[in-house]
Structure formats: structure tokens, C-alpha cells
A and B are shown apart, each in its own frame.
Chain A
Amino acid sequence: MAFTRTAAADPHRHLHAQAQWQPIELVFWAATLIPFFLFPKYLALASQIAIAALFALSLDLILGYAGIVSLGHAALFGVGAYTAGLLSTLGWGDPLLGLAAGAVAAGLLGYVTSFIIARFRHLALIMITLGLGQLIHEVANKASWLTGGSDGLQGVRIGPLLGRFPFDLYGYTAYAYSLVVLFVVFVFARRLVNSPFGLALRGIRENPVRMPAIGAPSPAHVRKIYTIAAAIAGMAGALLAQTTSTVSLGVLDFQRSADVLVMLILGGAGWLYGGIVGAIIFMVARDQFSGINPQLWYFWIGLLLVCVVMFLPNGVLGCLQLAAPWRSKAS
């Protein structure tokens, strides 16, 4: 109450407060270090979670902020994975080089396709992204001379991180690496959503009809965020290729596009943290359930998804926000 009043009197304070790091965010990031100490056996899983979270974060930038639905996000992830994997087979096994290359390759694909993406919305967009995803999957399948086809890429050899830390069996390096990349990209994304550009994206999500009427070139904004999100998805793919030393057609699967969407919706789109929380829930649940009965796993995740969408339309985080003044999404 009192907060609203002072904020109304001072627009700068209000906007500044919205972008401020909250204590709970610091707690959250501190908690991501827990696996190193408490669950050293699960570091490989933790690393997969961080990668899935990065992938979901990339989807959140386009879906949660700009309202661009994609059912083919794995195409960008897969291009990043194949790029990093292929580079390593050619003897360029430096992780950071592969990461950058994965980002650039996926970013390029994102930039090219963004010219189509920016012209459509809703169902048409879902169909187009779905089609593009299937198309890239099939190209990778047919180009087995390059990708190894359904056998996967052979001879992926990833060098030590920074030339000093080899990827160990326990996943120490893998998790540390994935986590640092996730955090750095998160800080970048957080800056982005609190910038004028981030506001423009929310404008597109809120009312694409009004945007041109206030002089906004929405398609240009969409192309930009789609390219950025694509590069981030490519980084996630590169991380997976590097931390597991394998790249198979699975990185381009429709299932992967669907899973990342499920993670984001579970956690809540438009908060940046939603994809991360969703990735944790999804991956941990899969790890636990699939041990018991792999077939039944999708039954439970399906049920969970239906319940979340019905009862928590803003995802798990949206529900938490009702309880606590969690303010990452500007209201």
C-alpha cells in the first residue's frame, strides 16, 4: 500500500525497484551450489538440469516476454549441439570455442528463420515452428555423412575446460561449467528484460495491434529477440554435446521441443525463473519416476501439466508469487 503510493510519486524509484535483485534470487542462486556438497552423486543430473534450464530460459525470452510460441525450439538446440560436436571431431575440442560456435550457428539459423517467424502468430506460428523443427531433423537424418545420421556423431572429443579442467566421470566440471554458463546468460537475460527492449517485447505480447500505432517496428523487435534466443538455445545444445560427449538425432527431436515447453509452462512463463524451476521439477521427476516405470513417466508429467495449467495458470512461480512478493516479472 505505502509502497504503491511512494512509487506513484516517483516513477524512477518504481522502475528501479522492479529491476532490483531480490534477496530470494540470491538465495536461489546460492542454492544451485548445493549439489556440489550434498548430492555429489547427482552432479551429472544437475548438469543436465542446468542445460535444460538454459534451454527453457531461451524459450522464455520469446514465449514469456514476446508471446512467440514455438514447437520447434529443438532445431536451434540441435544445431548448437551438432556444431560443437562437429568442431570437436575436427580437432577443435575447446569447450568455450564450441560453445561460441554453437551460439553463432544457432543464432544464424534463428536470424534467417526469424524473417518468417516475425510475420505470424498463434496457430500459424505453432505450425511453422513445428514444420521447421521437423525439416531440420530430417535434414540432419539424411545428411548422415555429416551428422552420423541415426547412429549419432562419431568421435566427439571435448578438451579440458580452459585447458585445465577435464570433464570428469562425476560431473564436477560439467555441472560447474553448465551452471556458470546458465548464470552468465541469466544475468544477460535479466538485463535484457529490464531494458527498453524488454519493455517493447512485453508490449508485443500484450497488444501487437497497438505496437505499430505507437511507432514500434514489432517485426524488427521479434527478429532481434528470436535471434538472441536462438543463440542461447544453441549454447544449451553445445553444452549438452560437450558435457555428454555425444550428439545424436535426439537433440533435434520434436519431443525435446515439447519437453522444454512443458518445463516452461510448469514453472511459469515470463519470469525468467520459470524455466529453471520447471526444468528442476521436470528433470528430477523424470529421474525418479523413470527408475520405477519409464512408460508411466509421461502419464504423470501429463497429469501434472494439466493440473498446473488448470489451477496455476501462471505456473508454479505464479502461485508462489501470490504467497510472497516475488517480483521479477514487472506487473
Chain B
Amino acid sequence: MSAPAAAPAQPPALSTRGLSKSFGSLVVANNISMHVPQGARDALIGPNGAGKTTLINLITGMLRPDAGHILLGNDDITALKPHQRVKRGLARTFQINTLFPHLNALEAVTLAVCEERGIAGNFWNSLSACTAAVDEAYAVLGSLGLAADCTRPTRELAYGQQRLLEIALALATKPAILLLDEPAAGVPREESAAVFAALAGLSRNITVLFIEHDMNLVFRFASRIIVMVAGTILAEGTPQEIGADARVREVYLGGARHG
């Protein structure tokens, strides 16, 4: 009726419907229905073992759900393979570095760019002849402050740089939706601000869902917060709503440990 509400409802960038997954008798995802609006900066929080990483694995196709659906916009992507979901604009980073130890950062990011451009199957042209792809990779590295060290093998990079390379690889796929699994995990507090500063600088065209334990960072960067406990979504809402939610305070924010 009012002007803003009359705008045709834009489908959420990402949503799940009744997503379930068990490892043996352990239910890690219990009928999860959640959504991430277009352009959002949503935080996914919850105690260790709540199933946050598993949820990302389900969304990205690295795990098959026992039941439920995953949608990008209005498209059901539940049947797609992980690399096909990336082609649809869904990228992720890993809580534990999942990099290419003997490739240097330039090669790793160039590889991701080549895959995005569909030229990674080309075995006839020299890599250095793919100048546009190399330029693009170099620009991504530059935007994360990795340009100066981009010719050093990944395994020789400082841990914080490797965390940034995690993000660089995901960005190189030109994502519409970026899932970040504890991007600053293990990074000293003063450096984790740098990681989040890089994320704050991302284009608003990219929808972001990030997992983070540091509540200061969560409340600073999140437009919405999704709280997960023991495989279920406990609450979903703005930081204010979540901060005021009694159940959340009880099981999570109030609890001493959220390691």
C-alpha cells in the first residue's frame, strides 16, 4: 500500500528450505529455513559445533543434504554440483585454510579467474599470454594488499596473508553471494580489523554471509544476525532485535564461552 512496500518483493539472494543433515545420529542441520536478502551483510553466529560450517557446506554443495532445498533468488540449486554453484555466483572461503601450498598467490588467483572466464581448459596458449586474466587476478590481489608478495609460494605467506588469499580466491570467481567461514579465524585482533575493513570495502552488489565469533565485529559489520544453536536457527533479525532477544542472551550471548 505505502510506496516502499509496494515495490515488487525482491527474492532473497539466498535461501534454504527445510535443510536437514545428520552425521549418523548427530543432527547437524535440523530443518533449517533461512534467507539472506540481496546486498545484505548477514552474520551467522552460534557456539562451536552448532553446525555453521556444515550449513555452508550444504549451501555450497560440498555436502549433500538429507532433505530440503537451497535457492539462489528463485532458482533451486540443490541438484547442482559445487563448481556449478560457483558459476551461479556463489563463492565461499574456508574456516581452515584450504589453499594451494606450492602455487604462489598470483597463480592461485589467476587460476580462479581463468575458471571464471572459462579458459582454464585451454592447453595451447601460454598463461602469460592471458593478459586480461592475469591483470584481473593482480587487481584482486592488490585490493587485498597482497600484490607485493604475490609471487611467493602460498605456504611461505604469513598466516594473515593466507587468510586474505582465501578471500581473494573467492572474489576472483566474481561472486554475487560470498559466504565467509570465520574469515579472521586465528588472526590477531588488530589484524582481524584489517580483514573486515577489506570486506567493508566490497561492492554492495555482493551479498555477504559471514561467520564470526567476535561480537564487536559482528555488531559493527552485520546488517542482520542469524543465530544457530545445535543445528537449528534460534533467531534471525537485526542486531538490535538479536541483542534484545532473551533466548539468544540465555543460550549464547550470556553464555561465558563462544569460542
A contact residues vs B (CB 8 Å cutoff): 4, 7-8, 11-12, 14-16, 18-19, 191-192, 194-200, 202-203, 206-207, 209-218, 220-221, 224, 228, 330-331
- Could you mark each residue 128-157 of chain B with 1 if its beta carbon is under 8 Å from any beta carbon of chain A, else 0? 101101110110000000011111110000
In the complex where A196-B114, A200-B120 touch, is A214 in contact with B86 (Cβ < 8 A)?
Answer: yes
B153 touches A331 (CB 8 A): yes
Expressed in whole angstroms, the Cα–Cα distance for A197 and B111 within the complex equals: 9
With a cutoff of 8 Å between Cβ atoms, the chain B residues found around residue A331 in the complex are 102, 104, 153
Query: A5–B120 Cα gap in the complex (Å)?
Result: 28
Chain B residues in the interface with A (C-beta under 8 A): 60-62, 81-83, 86-87, 91-92, 94, 98-104, 106-108, 110-112, 114-116, 119-128, 130-131, 133-135, 137-138, 147-153, 169-170, 172-173
Given contacts A7-B151, A195-B122, contact A210 B99 (CB under 8 A): yes
| Pairwise interchain contact B99-A220, C-beta atoms closer than 8 A | no
Residues of B within 8 A of A12 (CB): 128, 131, 134
Question: A125 CA to B166 CA in the complex, in Å?
Answer: 29
- A194 surroundings in chain B (CB, below 8 A): 126-128
Instruction: Judge whether B92 and A330 touch: CB under 8 Å.
Output: no
Known: A197-B121, A200-B120, A207-B98. A8 touches B112 (CB 8 A): no
**Bound state CA distance, A65 and B92, in angstroms?**
26
Contact assessment for B123 and A14 in the assembled complex, using a CB-CB cutoff below 8 Å: no
Q: Is the CB of B86 within 8 A of A213?
A: yes
Contact (Cβ within 8 A) B125 A195: yes
Given contact pairs A214-B173, A215-B116, A331-B102, enumerate 8 new A-B contacts (beta carbons under 8 Å).
A4-B151, A8-B150, A16-B126, A207-B101, A209-B98, A212-B83, A213-B169, A218-B83
Q: B100 and A196: CB pair below 8 A?
A: no
Tell whether, in the assembled complex, residue A196 and residue B125 are in contact, meaning their CB atoms are under 8 Å apart. Answer: yes
- Contact (Cβ within 8 A) B83 A202: no
Question: B196: shortest Cβ distance to chain A, in Å?
Answer: 21
Q: Which of B62, B87, B92, B127 has the most CB of A within 10 A?
A: B127
Which residues of chain B have C-beta atoms less than 8 A from A228's C-beta? 123
A215 contact from B112, B133, B147, B151, Cβ within 8 A: B112
In the A-B complex, the 5 residue pairs with the smallest Cβ-Cβ separation, listed nearest first, are A215-B86, A197-B123, A212-B82, A206-B100, A15-B128
B123 CB → nearest A CB, Å: 4
**Does B128 contact A19, Cβ atoms closer than 8 Å?**
yes
Q: Which residues of B contact A11 (CB under 8 A)?
A: 106, 134-135, 137-138, 150-151
Q: Write out the residue numbers on chain B whose beta carbons fall within 8 Å of the beta carbon of A8.
A: 147-151
Q: Which residues of chain A are within 8 angstroms of B150 by Cβ–Cβ distance?
A: 8, 11
Pull 17 A–B residue pairs with CB atoms less than 8 Å apart, ordered by A.
A8-B150, A15-B127, A191-B123, A195-B127, A196-B119, A196-B120, A197-B120, A207-B98, A209-B62, A210-B98, A210-B100, A212-B81, A213-B91, A214-B91, A214-B115, A216-B120, A331-B153
State whether A19 touches B151 (Cβ < 8 A).
no
Closest-by-CB residue of A relative to B147 is A8
Q: A8-B148, A221-B120 are in contact. Are A207 and B86 (CB under 8 A)?
A: no
Give Cα A330 to B92, complex, Å: 27
Give every chain B residue within 8 A of A191 (Cβ-Cβ): 123-124, 126
When distances are taken between beta carbons in the complex, the residues of chain B under 8 Å from A330 are: 103, 107
Choice from B106, B112, B114 contacting A14 with Cβ under 8 Å: B106
Q: How far, in Å, is A45 (CB) from chain B's closest CB?
A: 33
In the assembled complex, which residues on chain A have CB atoms less than 8 Å from the CB atom of B101? 206-207
Min CB gap B146→A, angstroms = 10
Which B residues touch A206, using CB under 8 A?
100-103
The answer to whether A199 and B127 have CB atoms under 8 Å apart is yes
* Contact (A199, B111) CB under 8 Å given A212-B62, A214-B172, A224-B121: yes
Minimum CB–CB distance from B221 to chain A (whole Å) comes to 23
Cβ of B86 and Cβ of A212 under 8 Å apart?
yes
Q: How far is the CB of B195 from chain A (nearest CB, A)?
A: 19
